[in-house]
Each structure stands twice: as structure tokens, then as C-alpha cells.
A and B are shown apart, each in its own frame.
Chain A
């Protein structure tokens, strides 16, 4: 063993001393330095880390494939008689070469580790360092193990350096550039590193399966190479050891079985992850919600984070086709859903299964417009250690309808960080939570690395691994939240607690708190964010949460979750987004009040005012709306602000929210409401409140 380790040291030295291999180091550095804007404060944002690792990962691993094949063939060409006739040149030599090449490439890519360590340290000093190192190994180890194994196998089988290198490169290019869905079985790039960086998110699970798959495949290929080498290596000619070959073959079979296992798990997840939303059925839910008299639900979640038993008891006040409206996440319908009608007229719907989030529910990337509007519809996320449940979502059969009664049974081992349940009790190692009548939007948050913390003196449930950038962002949000509350406190039903949730989505505020459903602040994904942009986006996020109160995108409007209060059908892609300029103006106003140096409200409004006459002004406004009248609304609101007085307009805004936030409101509705609440005729506002 010691001899092998010493041989390994020499092979590593040979790998590292090879000048051409330093091209990998140079490539790594090129990607680092071209990906990072060192002048930007957000250099270490997840977006950057992802692009850095992605570039290094893809390009370096392909080039490395060629070099590793060549390196392996150093002793396997016909000029290697000196090595072949040595007694130590056995099949173990293949393993020595494999690990030398593998460790060699990791050493050459150490600059990327440094980046992640800095990132990790900004999360949480020493522990963060460990986390950064863990992520680096997690991302790179399976990939380079795989490329090393593939290179060795092609080298061993072809034995001609040129031919083997071409073969390896073709294989790698094929894997990288073939057309695939994002969470593909052979996902080769570190897409989804966000979830991994933060330790949360459904993509993290896919990534884990993917890495486990690659790990099994790589070691399996290595064992296959050893096995083949045992029979065809010149040093072994004439004397195969069947006992050794048997052991290697058994291990090879074991790992290939592992590959099948993780591959099937990954494929299983993929099937559910790539599923699109069933918008047709979702839109019909309004009809179903109308028909419901009572909608009771009881679910039991087991230790593995699966819905072991879900029973919905539905009583209808008017006729409706239960089967036609029933909609659950595909992973919850893996086993047939049962529907039984009881003598009393109550329908019992039974279901069970895993809770696997479809990709559309947590990422707006690469989504069709109508899909992107769905937002966080599944309404929750849970695995073995994390649980988040919203009142509406596809985890119960009629996700858009209000539950009238909910019983949730969880293993006692789940750490509940937040619960809005009316009652809870413990029975046989299980905790039973119960909600009755008007359920708040956020039901429960359990597990995860949440700790009760403090944001500028305000109670908050914070992620354990909260890096300084994210913390600063949330402090900004808290400042905006406190500012908004000062203006509109009388009108709000929301409490001051802030909870930061791990999954990308929209913010929510209900009577229990304000919930920011993000795996990272949105501003971290904006590498060119200016202080003004940060202020405005933070204010908008808070105002949106306050306005929509338990619902999602205000553009989608309240109809999505409260169809009964919606006077007209909701279009798939709403073309009337009059609420957005309204909310945006108040975001500008709030940001300007709190940080006038960064956000000059009057100057911004002037740019909106001149868009009509000077199109170049469109480039100067922080956000341009599609419709002319929407851009003009910003100016109108500013004029009202000047006429009424700053505090009075906040009062109008609060009243407007009380009246209109839960019903459909288009542009004309908004204008009428503003005229009524302010007493000003908006058509003649120019005369009443001149603005030049």
C-alpha cells in the first residue's frame, strides 16, 4: 500500500510537471478572471459562482479528457517495456494513474476552490470555509472522476494516443452539447448550484442524485478498466488471476447496479420535475371552489418526507365533477388517487406519494409566459428535513380553493420553526397540527437551518447560513418594511415578523408575518445592481407582499387564489397590469424617502414625463412599462403626491389596498378609485397640480 502511495506521488508529479497540463490551470484562471467583475460588490454572488464553476467545469473537463487520455497512455504504448517488465506494473497501476490524473486536475483547479472558500467565509467564517470546500468537492469530484475513468477506458481499449484522445473528446462533447432538458440524467454542468450553495431547494436533490449517479458510473468504469486491463495489459499476458478478476467484476456489477438505482431515481425525479402545469384544470378550479361547501384535509407526512396518507373530505353545495377538477403534483399522483362517495354525500379523496416540485414552480428561467405566471403554485416543499406548506397549492386536490379544515401530522423529529396552526398535540411520536376556518397563507415551516434572529431589532426567522450580502439585503428589506408600516400600519393586518424562505418565488404577507420566498435575494442575481436599483427593488418586494397579502404576483391579481372575489375570468397572460405602476410608484416613493441621495424621485418622474417627447428618456427610467398610460400613471401619482401632501397619498394608497387589493382592478378601475379617494379629476390634474 505504501509502495502504491509512493507510486501515486510520482505519477502526480509527472502529471503536474507536464507543461501542457498547465493549460488547464490557465483555462481555469481565464474563466475566473473573465467571469468576475472585480469592481463589483457582488462578485461572489451565486450567479457569478455558478458561471465561474460552469465555465471551468465544461471547458476544462473537456480539455482535461484529452490530456488524461494522453497521460494514461504514457506507460501503455509499445515504448513502455521498461515499465511493463517491472513487478509493480500490475492492474493496480491503472488505479494509481487514475487517481494521479484526478488529483492532478483538482490541484490545477485550486483557484476555483479559493473563490468558493472566500464565498464560504463570507457566509459564516470557519464553518463557511468548510461549506465552500464541500461545495467545490461536491461539484468537481464526481465530474472529474467520470472524465478520468472515461479517459482511462478509452486509452486502454484503443491504445493509440491520438485515436483515444479523439474518442474521449467526442464522448465528452456528446455529453455536454446534446439536447437535453435541464435536469437531465447525465446533467453534466453544475446547473442548480444555487440550491447547493444555500443548502436548500429541490434542484439540490436532483443534483445529489446526479452526482451519486456519476460517482457510481465513474468508479464502475474504473473497475471495468481494471478488469479489462487484467486480461489485456502486456504485463499480465498469460497469467490472469481469476480470483482478483472475480472481485473486480463483482464490484463493477455492484456499482453498475448503483448507477441503475440513482439513474432511475433521477429519471423518476426528472419525469416530475419537467412536467408543465396543467393550466386548463387550474383555471377550472374557480368553478370547483364555487361549488365547495366544506373542504377538509388530513395528511400524514412520514420521516422520509413523503405524504404517507392524504385524505380530502369534500362536501359540495352545488353539482361539480370532482374528477374533472382534481389536480395534484404529478409525483403525488404516481399511485392512483381514489375518490369515494359516502352515503352522506361527502366525497373522500385519498392520495399518497412524494412531494417533488416541478421546475416551473421555482424557476422562471426558460419558461413559457403562461407558465411563468403560475409562480409558486405547488404551495410547498418538503423532503426528509425541510417542510414548507402554503395554504394554496398542488399538494391538495383543489389547490386554488380555501381549505376549511386541515390536520397535518408530522414526525416529532421534525423541527418546527414556524407554525400558524390553531392547535397542536403530540401522539405516538407524531405531532398533529390543526387549522380551522380561514387558514393563513403560510401554514408551517419545519426543519431546515432556520434560527430565530434579529434584523435591525426586528424578530426574524433567518437562514443559518446567511452571508453578509444576503443579510444586508434583508436588512434593506426590513428597513423598507418598517417604513411602509409607519405609513400604512392602520390598514395592515400583517405582523412585523419576517421569515426568509429557501425557494425562489414571490413574497407573501399574511396575518402571521411577512414571508420572502427566495433562495437568495433577487438583487444578488443582478450583478450590475446600483444602490438606487437595490433600494427600489427592495421597496417593491415589500410593497408587493403587503399589497397581494397571501397571494402571488400582483400582475396576476387576486383572482388566482380568490376566484370568488374576482368579477371576471382571469386571462392566461394578463394584459392589464395597472397595479404594477401603482405599486412601483410607491416603491420609488418609499425608496426616495428613506434614501434620497440614491433615489431622486423627482428626477426619475421627469424622465417618465418626457418619454413621449424624448424617446431616449425610456433608457433613463429604472423600469419601463409596456403601455403609455402605465408610464404616465407614475407622473400622475407624483402630481397627486404634490397636491395632496406626501402623507396623504400614503393614506390613499392604504385605502386603495383595503378596497381593491382583493378584487380585480384594471386601469379604469384604478383611475376611478383614485379620483374618488383624492377628490381630484385626473383628466384635469395638470391644471390643478401643475408639474413642469
Chain B
């Protein structure tokens, strides 16, 4: 549903936001994982026609994102990271307006269906201005579904949400993914794990991984360890030799328990191998890409 070929974007001569991005996103939920500033939002802006690439091509739902942007827009929706709703409108009015902006007629039954989908039925006539962040996010999802798009771009949709809301959203995306293509752009690995098994990792404007979550996790096998080290100079030395994912301090014994990946092929003494997770695999990948390690 989404293809990009050698997509480049320069904001300035020495400021490259996308570097030969080649992407193929099939139907269903697809993760786009990357740290902040990796170029995820730039990529989405190009795919949604609000930014022109410097070179390369992109298509969504079979239409060219530059030459046939009007056709693309009929088939897409965006859930942006930051958005402004109209605080004095209620969700029904807002969705009515979004339908009109999509060139469609107002359909109240459809609006109520979408509101039910995001669990906002009871708040249908309440001012959006009085909503919490999670509720507003649900309105944003409803607006993305309202004109029945084929492709939905969700840019960091769970940022700022509490755990309960976050879980609800992930489930919602999985559900939407049964019928539509959802490009889920995030830097939170749990969002990906819970919603999809296909992803690409973008770092410094480059696609550094494309494949299944399983493949990415497998790439970290035998590279994640746990060990106990004495705090103080020994711990400081440990940190310089390894990529530390997390650690806990045991004050009674003056020891640190660390989860890590060695920068060399050799693990520390008395280390215990661990089953890798997507988060560790992603961190290893990004770190490897940044340090240029193989």
C-alpha cells in the first residue's frame, strides 16, 4: 500500500532528514520505529503530501504522492503527534466538519459508529475543550476513520497517554489493521510489539532495518546479558566496555545488577545470557548504526 523509492529530503545543504529511504508497507499495521529526530515525521509529511521530497518517489494506495496527491488524500488519514481540535465544537460537530473537509456529505449514523468505536458515544455532545488528553486522542482517531480511508498514518499516537489508555489504543490499532493499512510511527517499542509483527527502523533518516519483529529480536540473540558488578570504579569501567540497557542498585551489598550488551564479542565474567526483547534489539540496532559497528 505504501512504497517509497530512494526518497531523500534535505532541509538544508548539510541537513538531510531522509537518506535514500526505500520502504514497502503492506496491508495491516506496520511499525515505523525510530528515535526522536530520526525522520519519521518528515517521511509521513511527504507521504501525506504536505512536504515535497528533494528526490525519489513515493506512492500510497497506488497513487503517486506528488503527481496524484489529490487521489492520495482521498484515501488517507493522519493522526498527528500534535494536533489542534476546535475546543468549542463537540465530537459530533467536529466529525461532521471533518467529513465536509474530506469532500463527503454528513452521515450521522457513521459518525456515531466511529464515536462508539473509540468509546466516545456518551460524550458526543460535550465540548472537546473539556476533554482530557486521552479523550482528545480518541477524537483524533475517530476523525481518521470517519471518511473510511485505506491508509492511516499515526505519528506517535500514544505519546503522553497513561498506561490504560495506551493499551486501549494498541488494541484499537490492531483492530483497525484488520481492514486498513496503518503506518504506526513511534519510538515506543511496546506499541509495535502489541500491534504488529512487521516494522522498519529509521535512524538518522536511513532505514536500518525492515522485516518482522521476530527477525529484529533474533538479531539480538546472544547479545543481551545480565551480571552483577560492584559499584564504584568497577561499575564505571563496566559501563565503558558495554552498552547498558538498564541496571538496579543493591545498597545492602553495594552491587549493581545490569542488563547489557557487550561492545566486543566477549561477555563479562559471570554473566547470564538473556532472552532478547524488541526493545533491546532496537537499542542494539540503533547503537550499532550510530557507532558504525557491524
Task: For the complex, give the distance between the alpha carbons of A13 and B92 in Å.
Answer: 14
Max chain A Cβ within 10 angstroms of own Cβ: one of B84, B89, B93: B84
Q: A88 CA to B100 CA in the complex, in Å?
A: 7
Complex contacts, A3 vs chain B, CB 8 Å: 100, 103
Assess whether B80 is in contact with A79, with CB atoms less than 8 Å apart: yes
A7 is an interface residue with CB less than 8 A from chain B = yes
Contact: B49 with A10, CB < 8 Å? no
Contacts of B65 in A (CB 8 A): 238
Query: Judging by beta carbons under 8 Å apart, are B88 and A87 in contact?
Result: no
Across the interface, do A85 and B49 meet the contact criterion of CB distance under 8 Å? yes
Q: Contact: B103 with A77, CB < 8 Å?
A: no
Chain B residues closer than 8 Å to A6, beta-carbon distance:
100, 106
Q: Is the CB of A88 within 8 A of B101?
A: yes
List CB contacts (< 8 Å) of B196-252 with chain A: none
Bound complex: CA of A13 vs CA of B140, how far in Å? Answer: 20
Q: Does B168 contact A (CB under 8 A)?
A: no
Residues of chain A contacted by B97 (CB below 8 angstroms)? 7, 10
Task: Write out the residue numbers on chain B whose beta carbons fall within 8 Å of the beta carbon of A13.
Answer: 89, 93
Q: Which B residues lie within 8 Å of A191 (CB)?
A: none
Complex alpha-carbon distance, A89 and B74, angstroms? 11
Give Cα distance in the complex from A87 to B89, angstroms. 21
B residues less than 8 Å from A78 (CB atoms): 82
Interface residues of A in 279-306 (CB under 8 A from B): none
- Tell me the minimal C-beta distance from B140 to chain A in angstroms: 7
- Asked, given contacts A14-B88, A17-B88, whether A83 binds B49 with beta carbons under 8 Å apart, the answer is no
Pair A234/B88 contact, Cβ less than 8 Å: no
Which residues of B lie under 8 Å from residue A234 when comparing CB positions?
45, 50-51
Of B50, B86, B101, the residue contacting A237 (CB under 8 A) is: B50
CB pair A18–B80 under 8 Å, yes or no, is: no
Q: Which residues of B contact A77 (CB under 8 A)?
A: 84
Partner of B49, one of A14, A74, A88, A238: A238
Q: How long is the Cα–Cα vector from A17 to B67 in the complex, in angstroms?
A: 38
Q: Which residues of A contact B88 (CB under 8 A)?
A: 14, 17-18
What's the minimum C-beta distance from B214 to chain A, rounded to whole angstroms?
33
Fill in one digit per residue for A230-265: 1 if any B CB lies within 8 Å of its CB, else 0: 000011011100000000000000000000000000
| Cβ 8 A contact of A85, one of B78, B84, B86, B89 | B78
A82 interface hit (Cβ, 8 Å): yes
For the complex, give the distance between the alpha carbons of A77 and B45 in Å.
14
* Chain A min CB distance to B93 (Å): 7
A86:B50 contact, CB within 8 angstroms:
no
Chain B contacts for A89, CB-based, 8 A: 101
Contact, CB under 8 Å: B52 / A86? no
Task: List, in ascending order, chain B residues with CB within 8 A of A200's CB.
Answer: none
Is there a chain B Cβ closer than 8 Å to A81's Cβ?
Answer: yes
A88 to chain B: closest residue by CB: B101
CB neighbours (8 Å) of A79 from chain B are: 80, 82-84
Q: How far is the CB of B152 from chain A (nearest CB, A)?
A: 11
Interface: B73 (CB within 8 A):
yes
Q: Is B76 interfacial (CB 8 A cutoff)?
A: yes
Task: Name A189-233 residues within 8 Å CB distance of B.
Answer: none
Q: Does B190 contact A (CB under 8 A)?
A: no
Q: Are the C-beta atoms of A81 and B100 separated by less than 8 Å?
A: no
Which residue on A lies nearest to B155, using beta carbons?
Answer: A81
CA distance A82 to B128 in the complex (A): 15
A84 adjacent to chain B (CB < 8 Å): yes
Does B83 lie within 8 Å of A81, measured CB to CB?
yes
Bound together, the chains give a CA A89 to CA B83 distance in angstroms of 16
> What is the chain A residue whose CB lies nearest that of B140?
A82
Q: Is B185 an interface residue, CB under 8 A from the partner? A: no
B191 at the interface (CB under 8 A from A): no
Interface membership of chain B positions 36-68, coded 1 if the CB is closer than 8 angstroms to chain A and 0 otherwise? 000000000100111110000000000001110
Contacts of B19 in A (CB 8 A): none
**Chain B minimum-CB-distance residue to A84:** B50
| Shortest Cβ gap from A622 to chain B (Å) | 57
Contact B74 A81 (CB under 8 A): no
Chain A contact-residue range equals 20 to 34
Q: A363: CB under 8 A from chain B?
A: no
Complex Cα spacing A78 to B45, Å:
11
Across the interface, name the chain B residue whose C-beta is closest to A3.
B100
Please indicate the chain A residues that have their CB under 8 angstroms from the CB of B140 in the complex: 82
A86 to B103, CA, bound (A): 8
* A7-B101 CB under 8 A given contacts A81-B80, A87-B74, A238-B69: yes
A7-B97, A81-B48, A237-B49 in contact; A86/B73 too (CB < 8 A)?
A: yes
Interface status of B23 (Cβ within 8 A of chain A) = no
**Is residue A80 within 8 Å, beta carbon to beta carbon, of the partner chain?**
yes
What distance in Å separates the Cβ of B150 from its nearest Cβ neighbour in chain A? 13
B100 & A85 in contact (Cβ 8 Å cutoff): no
Q: Does A74 contact B102, Cβ atoms closer than 8 Å? A: no
Assembly CA distance A85 to B106 (angstroms): 18
Q: Which residues of A contact B78 (CB under 8 A)?
A: 81-82, 85
A81 to B88, CA, bound (A): 19
Instruction: Name the B residues within 8 Å of A239 (CB-CB).
Output: 49, 66-67, 69-70
CB distance A85 to B73 under 8 Å? yes
A10 to B93 Cα, complex, angstroms: 8
Contacts of B102 in A (CB 8 A): 86-88
Residues of A within 8 A of B77 (CB): 85
Please give the distance in Å from A376's CB to the nearest CB on chain B: 57
Residue of B nearest to A83 (CB): B101
Alpha-carbon gap, A276 to B82, bound state (A): 63
In the complex, what's the smallest C-beta–C-beta distance from A224 to chain B, in angstroms? 22
Bound complex: CA A237 to CA B72 (Å): 13
| Shortest Cβ gap from A232 to chain B (Å) | 11
Is B143 interfacial (CB 8 A cutoff)? yes
Contacts of B74 in A (CB 8 A): 87
Closest-by-CB residue of A relative to B75 is A87
In the complex, the chain A residue whose C-beta lies closest to that of B143 is: A82
Q: Quick one: which of A66-100 are within 8 Å of B by CB?
A: 74, 77-89
Q: How far is the CA of A3 from the CA of B67 in the complex (A)?
A: 25
- In the complex, what distance in Å separates the CA atom of A74 from the CA atom of B87? 11
- What is the bound-complex CA distance between A13 and B51, given in angstroms? 30
Given A17-B88, A237-B50, A82:B98 Cβ within 8 A? yes
Contact (Cβ within 8 A) B101 A86: yes
Is B103 touching A85 in the complex (CB atoms < 8 A)? no
Taken together as a complex, chains A and B put the C-alpha atoms of A85 and B183 apart, in Å, by: 15
A239–B50 Cα gap in the complex (Å)? 10
Taking the nearest CB of chain A, how far is it from the CB of B285, in angstroms? 28
CB-CB under 8 A from A10, the residues of chain B are: 89, 93, 96-97, 100
A contact residues around B98 at 8 Å (CB): 82, 86
Judge whether A237 and B100 touch: CB under 8 Å.
no
Contact of A7 with B100 at beta-carbon distance under 8 Å, contacts A77-B84, A79-B80, A82-B83 already known: yes
- Chain A residues with CB under 8 Å of B66's CB are 238-239
A84 to B80, CA, bound (A): 11
CA A77 – CA B102 in complex, angstroms?
A: 19
Q: Considering only CB atoms, which chain B residue lies closest to A75 in the complex?
A: B84
B177 to chain A, nearest CB (A): 20
Bound form: Cα–Cα A239–B66 in Å: 7
Q: Which of B70, B76, B103 gathers most chain A CB within 10 Å?
A: B103
Contact B48 A87 (CB under 8 A): no
CB distance from B60 to the nearest CB of A (A): 11
Docked Cα-Cα span, A17 to B128, in Å, equals: 13
**A14/B86 in contact, CB under 8 A:** yes
Question: Which residues of B lie under 8 Å from residue A86 when comparing CB positions?
Answer: 73, 98, 101-103
Interface string of A591-606 (1 = CB under 8 A from B): 0000000000000000
Q: 1/0 contact trace for A10-39 toward B, CB 8 Å?
A: 100110011000000000000000000000
- A sample of 26 inter-chain contacts (CB < 8 A) reads A3-B100, A3-B103, A6-B106, A10-B100, A14-B86, A74-B86, A78-B82, A79-B82, A79-B83, A80-B84, A81-B80, A82-B85, A84-B48, A85-B48, A85-B50, A86-B102, A87-B70, A88-B100, A88-B102, A234-B45, A234-B51, A237-B49, A237-B52, A238-B52, A238-B65, A238-B66
Task: Supply 4 further A-B pairs (C-beta < 8 A) apart from A3-B103, A7-B100.
Answer: A87-B70, A234-B45, A234-B51, A237-B52
- A-B CB proximity, top 5 nearest: A17-B88, A86-B101, A81-B80, A234-B50, A238-B52
